[in-house]
A and B are shown apart, each in its own frame.
Chain A
Amino acid sequence: MRLSRTAKITLRTVMFAGFTFIYLPLVLVVINSFNKNKSFAWPPTGFTTEWWTRAAENVGIREAITRSALVALFATAIALVLGSLAAAAIARYDFFGRDSISLLFVLPIALPGIVTGIALNNVFTNFFGKLTFFTIVIGHATFCIVVVFNNVAARYRRIGSNLQEASMDLGADRITTFRLVTFPLIRNALIAGGLLAFGLSFDEIIVTTFTAGAGQTTLPIWIFQNLFRPNQAPIVNVVAAALVVISIIPIYLSQRLTQEKE
């Protein structure tokens, strides 16, 4: 599309402003993690690595990270199985009520998290008697299914059914066809969906608040509990800065996945 100079400059300015809006706060968190001043008065008067050392020695943080990672692993595993099964059915077959079922899988992220949270809390406390580690996992898996489902369903729609049909015409049975033809084709979508599910679960706080058993502090819950304690502020900020830096890893991985695709 041919645009006038002014239009192009305006759009570039909007882009630049947009990216500044997106990145400025994150950069500030990282800078503040070295801020000598405990209440982050801006501009900083001096820098220190003391908060990073203290955060690294904090047992509570380490436990919370481990717990979050475990929850995310279990939830992702469940979501991978259920999400890809649902995708295989919905993207490849036509049946009555398909659209409604597809909507049902999207519902946990389309409805406010607090609704899912108190609904699950109500059911779990009534049926299991108490909340545990696994009630968090069940809660997380429920909203993680949709991201795996979306990724894999999109891939199924793109690859069509020709290759699988060809494989079966050539005499391969269903299991062999899945193992040698279908699975390699959807593998990247599974990895991308799994990564997203893991990230979503690792970071989730609202559903977690309502489904976590006593003492089951995940990392987001740890951050939230310590957010309003002035004494803990520098350490919370270090955890935040570390999370900003770590978030580059999954982006790098998913970038590589999409490049392999092309």
Chain B
Amino acid sequence: MIKSAQHFLNRHVKTRAALLLSLPLGWMIVIYLGALFALFLTSIWKIDTFTSDVIREFTLENFTDVFTDRAYFNVSIRTLMVAISVTLICAVIAIPMAFYMARIAKPSNRPILVALVLTPLWASYLVKVYAWRTMFYPESGFLQWLISPVGGKSPGFGMVAVIIGLTYLWLPYMVLPIYAGMEKLPNSVVDASADLGAKPGRTFREVVMPITWPTIIAGSVFTFSLSMGDYITVQILGGTFQMLGNVVYQNFSLNLPFAAAVSLIPVIIMMIYLAGIRKTGALDNL
């Protein structure tokens, strides 16, 4: 019995792959894609405003509400701006750090540097946001103490605090793929550029950057997506500042169809982003 099953498997490569895939793929399709699809369906259903029950009748009202209401439009733009800012700041900090770690630091020091970047990834998400809350405390926070001697004032809770907090949270997600990409870059390529007369700056711009570009994009998938969907950091550091995630969270228990429609905004933006970067090969670096 087992023998004949093995013979069968030896001859049928596709069956082997299908057997291996059936469980995990089944889980992802039934639970995850099923749930996403149900959420999409809910977004085109009505709501009984008195009982908060979902009525299974088609309507586009949730979407027209989202897109015509000035306030929600502003929140969307603000969320997008925060996500873009966080991604750019992360890239600006991460590229030189990764470059130093991968190409300048002694090879024997590299594992330690990588560990130093990885360490905060293991520290709790909430702890990190919390740490910035104590930093930003308007009157007595560390930042206030740090910059008051030079006449500065801590920005307190708000958009700036949210951007810094999110940058802090997602920075390792940007450093690590870029580091991996820069480390893989063969020395011969860099040497060839130098031998042909390029100064280090030019080698960096025209050789290192184009080759590691997909890894930067890969990092940006995380920084961008994670920033766009966040609402907890916004609650802790944002004061009265709000993002799309907060709108979803507030509407979720009373008006699920509307919350579903709002939650599709980041999904659609993310899909466009993922489709746009497919050609760069960034997805293989995730």
Interface residues of A (CB under 8 A from B): 1-4, 7-8, 11-12, 14-15, 18-19, 21-23, 25-26, 28-29, 32, 39-43, 81-83, 85-86, 88-90, 92-93, 95, 99, 101, 103-116, 118-123, 126, 138, 141-142, 145, 149-150, 173-174, 199, 203-206, 210, 220, 223-224, 227, 236-237, 240, 243-244, 247-248, 250-251, 254-255, 258-259
Residue of B nearest to A92 (CB): B17
A237 to B33, CA, bound (A): 38
CA distance A180 to B225 in the complex (A): 41
Complex A-B: 10 CB contacts under 8 Å: A3-B200, A18-B93, A28-B131, A41-B140, A42-B140, A82-B24, A89-B17, A123-B34, A205-B232, A224-B126
| B130 & A119 in contact (Cβ 8 Å cutoff) | no
Contact A220 B125 (CB under 8 A): yes
In the assembled complex, the Cα of A118 lies from the Cα of B263 at a distance in Å of 9
Q: How far is the CA of A199 from the CA of B121 in the complex (A)?
A: 9
B77 sits at the interface (CB 8 A): no
Residue of A nearest to B95 (CB): A14
Bitwise, B239-271 to A at CB < 8 A (1) or not (0) is 000000100110010001001100110110010
Does B78 reach chain A (CB closer than 8 Å)? Answer: no
Whether A114 contacts B263 in the complex (CB less than 8 A), given A3-B200, A122-B256, comes out as yes
In the complex, chain B residues whose CB is within 8 Å of the CB of A26: 120, 123, 127-128, 131
Please classify how large the interface on chain B is, using the bins under 10, 10 to 19, 20 to 34, 35 or more.
Answer: 35 or more
**In the complex, what residues of B have CB within 8 A of residue A12's CB?**
100
Closest to B245 in A: A114
Inter-chain CA distance A69–B133, complex, in Å, is 26
Residue pair A1, B194 in contact (C-beta under 8 Å): yes
From A202, which residue of chain B is reached at the shortest CB distance? B124
Q: Point out which of A29, A83, A114, A123 has the most chain B C-beta atoms below 10 A from its C-beta.
A: A114
Given A111-B267, A115-B263, A224-B232: A14 in contact with B97 (beta carbons within 8 A): yes
Judge whether B226 is part of the interface by a CB distance below 8 angstroms: yes
- Do A25 and B24 touch (CB < 8 A)? no
Taking A93-B17, A243-B124 as contacts, is the C-beta distance between A82 and B35 under 8 angstroms? no
A111-B229, A224-B126, A240-B127 in contact; A95/B17 too (CB < 8 A)? yes
Say whether B25 faces chain A, with CB atoms less than 8 Å apart.
yes
Cβ contact of A21, chosen from B6, B93, B203, cutoff 8 A? B93
Please state if A110 and B286 are interface contacts (CB–CB under 8 Å): yes
Task: Judge whether A122 and B39 touch: CB under 8 Å.
Answer: yes
Contact partner of A110 (CB less than 8 A), chosen from B200, B201, B274, is B274
Residues on the A chain within 8 Å of B221, using CB: 110
In chain B, what residue has the closest Cβ to A98?
A: B17
Docked Cα-Cα span, A36 to B143, in Å, equals: 19
Do A3 and B104 contact each other (CB < 8 Å), given the known contacts A101-B25, A258-B111? yes
Q: How far is the CA of A254 from the CA of B121 in the complex (A)?
A: 13
Q: Is the CB of B35 within 8 A of A119?
A: yes
B260 partner, pick from A19, A32, A118, beta carbons under 8 A = A118
B residues in contact with A121, CB < 8 Å:
252
* Interface contact B225-A112, CB-CB below 8 Å: yes
